[in-house]
Chain A
């Protein structure tokens, strides 16, 4: 969480956006990242903080159909946007094919990177249902995993790709 000395107060800004399909309003201190707003203000802790500087992709969310690192976007920039986080990935009462495949292929260990991988991979497979292994690896280059060695993740995404066809 960002530490701000209290005497340097700047006013919070009202923000309205669509979050996982629901119209959502919140007040954001302008210097807070979308990641901080999601986790601290909105209590959506599925999105993870890894590096907090754009390198690891653990904080990946989907904004207007494009994946972005939520640590490198301000919460106030969410105004008017359509945002999907990991909490919006699973259908009610079930798992998304990607989530199911990650479980079956043991594509996670500590799990910190997993929400980011799922949000990234979902955006790829929705845009390119036939993405091959090379394309998947390239697309996921902005998501780092320190546990699995990647092969299991790639296998899980390929399995989900077949499921989603």
Chain B
């Protein structure tokens, strides 16, 4: 393994200038549950890792209607917060199933997003909760919707010297619910064959869908925002039949491959099933009887 320096950054400017100085020879260290495995496996070499866990903005977790999740906040801090769990159920589903307890002590949703695997469990829930990322580099700060962040397997919108600061989720509307489910061969500690996140806003009667957002994991080169299935649901009655139709549409938006974890056919099928199930669960949560 190539030796690397450890740079403990205490503010964003320090971190960004270290990233700029080392070019692609340095990366941010959040929980290290991807980074340290990859370095040890010699997937790439670095000359420095920049520890972001002492930067205030990166460890911020603020619920003020909306939710700000600092990029390095470990999963357990998110799911142990009962107020967050109540308002952002899709995020909690993901944070509590990434790895086991040891991994959740360190792994962050920011790291999950920046690692940018199509199978990441954290990204689709952030998409359906309408998350927006804040990115800072030497040239300043910009924002973008989470669904635009991943650009390919292991690739994302971060330019050289840029880092993720936080993920901001807007305050959910009244009668809002969300859920994330994945299919894995085991009960825990495995990589999703398919994952689906759904979020739904019902009208005041709780019977009609006002709007919905669906996102798919592990069925394309990036997590996929299923735009057509999401748009189809607006104005529909919230029944299982409607949700099955949405599942069929979502399946046409998936572009899976066959690999050791599953075939194309199985993955299309799983998208249908999990879309329906997550919508049913999201509706139960929206009606307040999860």
Query: Could you list which residues of chain A lie within 8 angstroms of chain B, going by C-beta atoms?
Result: 2-4, 8-11, 13, 29-31, 33, 52-55, 57, 60, 63, 66-69, 71-74, 76-77, 79, 120, 138-139, 141-143
Contact = CB atoms under 8 A, between A and B. Distances in A.
Nearest to B37: A53
Contacts of A3: 1
A141 B4 contact: no
A72 B32 contact: yes
Nearest to B189: A141
Give the interface size bracket for B toward A: 20 to 34
B107 to A, nearest CB: 9
Given A72-B33, A72-B36, A73-B32, A29 B3 contact: yes
Interface of B: 1-6, 8, 29, 31-33, 36-37, 39-41, 49, 51, 76, 99-103, 105-106, 187-189
Given A13-B6, A68-B105, 6 more contacts: A3-B1, A10-B5, A57-B102, A73-B36, A74-B36, A74-B49
B1 A142 contact: no
A54 B6 contact: no
A142 B3 contact: no
B36 A60 contact: no
A120 B101 contact: yes
Nearest to A4: B3
B105 A66 contact: yes
A68 B102 CA distance: 4
Given A74-B32, A74-B36, A138-B188, A120 B102 contact: yes
A73 B106 contact: yes
A54 B5 contact: no
Contacts of B29: 74
A9 B3 CA distance: 7
Contacts of A13: 6
Contact of A77 (B1, B5, B51, B99): B51
Given A4-B1, A69-B103, A141-B188, A30 B33 contact: no
Contacts of B100: 57, 141-143
A125 B129 CA distance: 35
B141 to A, nearest CB: 27
B6 A74 contact: yes
Given A53-B37, A63-B105, A66-B76, A8 B99 contact: no
A54 B105 contact: no
Contacts of A4: 1, 3
11 contacts: A9-B3, A29-B3, A30-B3, A31-B39, A53-B41, A54-B102, A54-B103, A66-B76, A68-B106, A72-B106, A73-B32
Contacts of A79: 8
Nearest to A11: B5
B99 A31 contact: no
A67 B37 contact: no
A30 B31 CA distance: 16
Contacts of A74: 6, 29, 32, 36, 49
Contacts of B41: 53
A120 B1 CA distance: 29
A141 B188 CA distance: 7
Contact of A67 (B6, B33, B105): B105
Contacts of B187: 141
Contacts of B2: 8
The 9 closest A-B pairs by CB, nearest first: A142-B100, A30-B6, A66-B105, A142-B102, A141-B188, A141-B100, A69-B102, A10-B3, A76-B6
